[in-house]
Amino acid sequence: MYFLRDEQLVIAHREVTGPAVLSGALTELLAAPTADEIADGLHSEIPAGTELLGVNLVDGLATVDLSSEAEGGGGSLSMTARIAQIVFTATQFPNVDEVLFWLDGEPVTFFGGEGIVLDEPVSRNGIQRTFTGGLLFDTPAHGATVRSPFVVTGEGDVFEGQFAIEVWADGVQIDTVAPVTAGAWGNWADFTTTVRLDDVSGPIQLIVRDGGGCGTDPECPPVVETVLPLVLAPLTAHERSWVRSPGRNERELHRQQVAVPPGPVASTPQQP
């Protein structure tokens, strides 16, 4: 499911059992972040007390019926953020393309006191990029301690399907991982890449800048930065030799990384 940190969506994990994993994921989203997630800076804009009254999935369209608490309080930013959380949580499943919102058993025309028009289905393309940038990191976890080499995963929708990850330490860019392949042209897709850093330890940042391929024209939207802070543990002499040895495959790299593992992932969703 998807919560927020500093007004940007982030991925969180819950264990959801089938067959109705779509309903289960939305129910977990409405339950709000855990104490540990709150301590890690996550929050939800969905008001407490919001209930899931029903979900109907037909031909990629998920009709999500929520209690009226869903539109209570908050301004336009809060309203659009809670819509983003629900849409991204529902459309993580391959058989869900877009979400149609209902409240208390009735279709929605305007959402909240700000009067946000919500009378048509919403896909990920309908969510403001300020909430997502071009990608969302999944693992390693925010603030995790890792050892080189480590694997980075997430999902993205980036210009022409490729992007670069900048690696920064002490205010200096020390490396670039590129190209990394993800989705494009409105299609979000998973990505996996490996970061190798020698002779570096301590706090680092992975930064991806999303300009949407617009360039530097003044009319272009602002570049959105997605930042993942990590702590790079120093390598032992044996590990340093291992990193520099050729011919290691990706399975070995996965075994060697010391990042916080992701939580359980819901199985392939079935129709609720």
In the predicted model, is pLDDT for residue 139 greater than 90? yes
pLDDT at residue 216 greater than cutoff 80: no
What is the β-pairing status of strands 224-232 and 145-146? Answer: parallel
The reported pLDDT for the residue numbered 262 is 43
pLDDT digits (tens, 9 = 90+) for 179-212: 999 999 889 999 999 999 988 999 999 999 988 7
Which residues on adjacent β-strands are paired with residue 135?
A: 156
Buried b or exposed e, range 216-244, using 16+ CB within 10 angstroms: eeeeeeeebebbbebebeebeeebeeebe
CB 109 within 8 A of CB 119: yes
The HSE-up count of residue 241 (CA atoms within 13 Å, CB side) is: 3
Strands 116-117 and 172-181: unpaired
Per-residue pLDDT, 267? 39
User: Band of the pLDDT at 19, cuts 50, 70, 90?
Assistant: confident
Of residues 50 and 263, which shows the higher confidence score?
50
> Residue 218 above 90 pLDDT?
no
Is pLDDT at 5 greater than 80 in this prediction?
A: yes
Residue 263 has pLDDT above 80, yes or no: no
Least confident stretch, 32-41, 88-97, 129-138, 261-270: 261-270
- What is the per-residue pLDDT for 271? 46
Question: In the chain, pLDDT over 70 holds for what percent of residues?
Answer: 87
Facing residues of 210 across strands? 224
Instruction: Identify the band that residue 261 occupies on the pLDDT scale cut at 50, 70 and 90.
Output: very low
How far is Cα 204 from Cα 170, in angstroms, rounded to an integer? Answer: 8
pTM summary value: 0.82
Three-class SS state of 51: coil
**pLDDT-based confidence at residue 239 (cuts at 50, 70, 90):** low
- pLDDT, residue 73, reads 86
State the amino acid at position 12 in one-letter form. Answer: A
